[in-house]
Amino acid sequence: MNRRRRDVRRERARTRWWAVLAAAGAAGGVAAILALWWHDGGLSAVAAGGATALTSLGRLTGLVAADLLLLQIFLMARVPWVERAYGQDRLLRWHRYVGFGSFWLMLAHVGLTILGYAADGHVDLMTESWDLTTSYPGMLLAVVGTALLVGVVVLSVRAGRRRLRYESWHLLHLYAYLGVGLALPHQLWTGADFVGSMPARVYWWSLYLVCAGSVLLFRLALPVWRSHRHRLRVCQVRWEAPGIFSVYVAGRDLHRLPASAGQFFNWRFLTRTGWTRAHPYSLSAAPHRDLLRITVRAGGDDAARIAGVRPGTRVLVEGPYGRLTEVVRRRRRVLLLGAGIGITPLRALLEELPYRPGEAALAYRASTPEDLALHRELDVIARRRGALVHYLTGPAPTRSSWLPASLGHLSDREALLRLVPDVAERDVYLCGPPSWMQAVQLTLRRARVPARQIHCEEFVW
């Protein structure tokens, strides 16, 4: 136990350092661009006004847009230390915000540059646009790349995402890499800040190599190497409840895989069709030396194909990902709150987390008793380890609540305090549908649970 605590403390320390380093790197990149732009006379050009000011501002917005585009790629490169520091759901949100920021700056760069060049050459905007596209090296590629990026941004707007399955959206989203690859080379060939400055060339080439290397290493090479090393194969598919099944995956030396209860992998089952589509599923049991398990709701995307995989089917995994683990824990007592298929990582945590009898409680929300997946396993773990389990079943009340209608006579806060009177003294782990988790978080705040003790991750896309 003492060794485990030392390992957890070391992991927490490493996580804090990587969080600081990653944030400093992102801020330092923008600061470096501003410094290079200022050093090359950008500020004085803006002060001069007219076409010179427009062109200088076009350069600045283009440079910052390029930096944010590369930062956007790095955020999704699945760098393990950065992912453990912030969690994939937070990185995905930042990826989206940075992406929209770089998009608008890119449009500003195009507009300001065309306006500045047209004013300087005393020509109309259409003539200048055509001349820039056809006469400058790399500009035609930049136009194609910009068009691809515009398409990806349109699909990334919430209304556009709702019309697509996750797998289709994810596949189309990969065109963003092609867009970036086509849009950035014109900077290398014609960008004044790149061509005329050795420090700028060193900075940008280093940035390109870090981002491209991170994608190749952590999104391609590492998953392939881990899957091959551990020789992952399906060994059993078992139905747990109506519409819910578990997939057991066997492998060798799985104790060397840096996975913990509460984490998830992106899974690819190498069947004849659909193997290109990766699905994020949490471990529903603590990882063992030769076995991993996920539990899946049959109504999800592509779930019918996964339910029909045969024993012996090879598996490719990316991960492990997620911070819903012991590393974020602060208190001795814990409360696990899950709904629906969100019970899967909590069941693994109930098994793996260190706690004494009476220090752990779990509340599981489901529409009917038949929907309580893995409840027999939860009961066994609770008896063996002295945990308290509450099953909250029944239809939803008429008011917005995370509780069943049978507890509708109580406020959400009152019901929570009856279930767990000392909730403010516990770490709380949440997993379930987003709207349900929002209702629980509101209740926890009303029960005066400190925000640092509330741990949840949301699958965002």
Is residue 206's pLDDT more than 90? no
4-18, 183-197, 428-442: least confidently modelled range? 183-197
Residue 161: what pLDDT? 58
Across 403-418, average pLDDT: 92
Task: Specify which of 34-48, 67-81, 191-205, 320-334 reaches the highest per-range mean pLDDT.
Answer: 320-334
Burial of 47 (0-12, 13-18, 19+ CB in 10 A): exposed
Across 384-397, average pLDDT: 94
Residue 3: what pLDDT? 62
Q: Are 294 and 247 in contact (CB under 8 A)?
A: yes
Q: Are 270 and 314 in contact (CB under 8 A)?
A: yes
Residue 27: what pLDDT? 84
pLDDT digits (tens, 9 = 90+) for 117-161: 888 888 888 887 787 777 776 677 777 777 777 777 776 665 555
Sheet holding 291-297, edge to edge: 233-241, 244-250, 291-297
Is residue 450's pLDDT more than 90? yes
pLDDT above 70 as % of the chain: 86
115-124, 173-182, 332-341, 393-402: least confidently modelled range? 173-182
**Amino acid at site 177:** Y
pLDDT digits (tens, 9 = 90+) for 150-201: 777 776 665 555 565 665 666 666 666 666 666 666 666 665 555 566 777 7
Three-class SS of residue 442? helix
This prediction's pTM: 0.81
Residue 293: what pLDDT? 97
Q: Mean pLDDT across the chain, nearest whole number?
A: 85
Residue 396: what pLDDT? 86
Is residue 424's pLDDT more than 90? yes
The contacts of residue 249 (CB under 8 Å, 6+ apart) are 232, 233, 234, 235, 291, 292, 293, 294, 315
Q: How far apart are CA 59 and CA 53, in angstroms?
A: 10
Residue 179: what pLDDT? 67
Identify the band that residue 5 occupies on the pLDDT scale cut at 50, 70 and 90. Answer: low
Three-class SS of residue 135? helix
Q: Alpha carbon 229 to chain centroid distance?
A: 25
Is residue 1's pLDDT more than 70? no
Residue 89: what pLDDT? 81
Identify the band that residue 93 occupies on the pLDDT scale cut at 50, 70 and 90. Answer: confident
Across 438-447, average pLDDT: 95
Is residue 86's pLDDT more than 90? no
333-339 and 426-431 as β-strands: parallel, antiparallel, unpaired?
A: parallel
Across 54-68, average pLDDT: 87
Residue with more model confidence, 267 or 11: 267
Residue 361: what pLDDT? 97
Across 431-435, average pLDDT: 91
